[in-house]
Amino acid sequence: MPEPDFENEYNVMKVIFYKDIFSEENLRKIGLNERQIKAVKYIREHGSITNRVYRKLVGISDEGARLDLNELVAKGIIKMVGKGRGLHYVLSKNHKQ
């Protein structure tokens, strides 16, 4: 779950809790680029994404796609499932911020 935001207005402390850790606003806060946000949205809608689909979706090279997807894995947003040609990515339930 993402960290809450704390606001102090006129000596009143307000705490904002986020329900959806994969909202576009939260994805921007953790530093994802527009391509990576598209990938997360695609996975939410379709259940998974492959490198090939990601390249077509955002118009990026194979190397660029690997870098973007590996960064999402490193941040704990998605995880790899399978190997070789069957490799695809799904949303992680253990998101690290």
Asked whether residue 66 is domain-assigned, the answer is yes
The answer to whether 69 and 89 are in contact (CB under 8 A) is: yes
Q: How many domains does the chain have?
A: 1
d(CA 70, CA 26): 19
Establish if 96 belongs to a structural domain: no
- Cα–Cα separations (whole angstroms), residue 57 to 2, 16, 32, 97: 27, 33, 16, 26
Residue 42 lies in a domain: yes
Averaged pLDDT score across all residues of the chain: 89
pLDDT-derived band at 2, boundaries 50, 70, 90: low
Residue 83 lies in a domain: yes
What number of residues does the chain have? 97
Residue 56 lies in a domain: yes
DSSP 10: T
pLDDT on residue 22: 79
Check: CB of residue 54 under 8 Å from CB of residue 8.
no
Q: At what angle do helices 34-46 and 62-74 cross, to 10 degrees?
A: 80
Cα–Cα distance for residue pair 77/27, rounded to 1 Å: 9
Q: What is the CATH number of the domain that holds 15?
A: 1.10.10.10
Q: Residue 15 in 3-state DSSP?
A: strand
Residue 57: inside a domain, yes or no? yes
Higher-pLDDT residue of 59, 21: 59
- The parent domain of residue 31 ranges over 5-91
**pTM of the predicted model as reported, rounded to 2 decimal places:** 0.74
Does residue 97 fall inside a structural domain? no
